[in-house]
Structure 1
Amino acid sequence: MATYASPPAGLPAQMTLHTGRAVFTEAYALLPAGVMRDIVTSYLPHWRDTRAWIIARPMTGFSETFSQYIVEVAAGGGSERPEPNPEAEGVLFVVEGSVTLTISGEPHLLETGGYAFLPPGCQWTLVNRSTEPARFHWVRKRYEPVEGIDAPEAFVSSDQDTPIRWMPDTNETWGTTRFVDPADLRHDMHVNIVTLMPGAVIPFEETHVMEHGLYVLEGKAVYRLNRDWVEVEPGDFMWLRAFCPQACYAGPQRFRYLLYKDVNRHARLGL
Structure 2
Amino acid sequence: MSYRTNELGYPTDLLSSRAVVERGNFALIPPKGLVKNVLPHFDNCEMTILSTPKLGAGFVDYLCRVLPNGGNTHGFGGNGIQTFIYCLEGELTVTIGEETHELTTGGYAYCPPTETLKFKNNSDKATETFLYKKRYQEAEGFAPYKVIGNTNDMEDQNYEGMTDVGLKDLLPTDLNFDMNFHILTFHTGASHGYIETHYQEHGALLLSGEGMYNLDNHWIPVKEGDYIFMGAYNLQACYSVGRNAPLSYLYSKDCNRDVDL
Residue in 2 that maps onto 1:263: 255
State the Cα deviation string for residues 102-133 of structure 1 (Å, max 9, x = none). 22222211111111111002144211000011
> Contact 1:63 / 1:240 at 8 angstroms: preserved in 2?
no
Equivalent residue number for residue 216 of structure 2: 226
Instruction: For residue 259 of structure 1, report the CA deviation from its aligned partner.
Output: 0.7
Q: Number of aligned residue pairs: give it.
A: 255
Residue 204 of structure 1: how far off its partner (Å): 1.1
The answer for unaligned runs of 5 or more in structure 2 is: none
Provide the rounded CA distance (Å) in 2 between the counterparts of 1:248 and 1:15.
33
- Aligned-pair Cα RMSD in Å: 1.7
- Indicate which of 179, 199, 206 corresponds to 2:170: 179
SS of 1:260's partner is strand
| Letter of the 2:107 counterpart | G
2:19 maps to 1:29: no
Per the normalisation by structure 2, the TM-score is 0.92
Alpha-carbon distance between aligned partners in 2 of 1:8 and 1:45, rounded to the nearest angstrom: 18
Contact in 2 for aligned 1:100/1:108 (Cα 8 Å): yes
User: CA offset at residue 135 of structure 1?
Assistant: 1.4
Change (3 A) 1:173 1:24: same
1:92 aligned partner, one-letter code: I
Whole-angstrom CA distance in 1 between matches of 2:38 and 2:75 = 12
Counterpart Cα distance in 2 of 1:85 and 1:117: 12
1:16 aligns with 2:9: no
List alignment gaps of at least 5 residues for structure 1. 1-6
SS in 2 for 1:205: coil
How many angstroms apart in 2 are the aligned matches of 1:178 and 1:209? 20
Q: Which residue of the partner structure matches residue 74 of structure 2?
A: 81
TM-superposed deviation, 1:174 = 1.0
Q: TM-score, normalised by structure 1?
A: 0.89
Preserved CA contact (<8 Å) 1:97 1:133? yes
Aligned-pair identity in percent equals 31
Cα 1:227–1:86 change in 2 (3 A) is same
Matched, 1:157 2:149: yes
- Say yes or no: does 1:188 pair with 2:178: yes
Residue 198 (structure 1) shift: 1.0
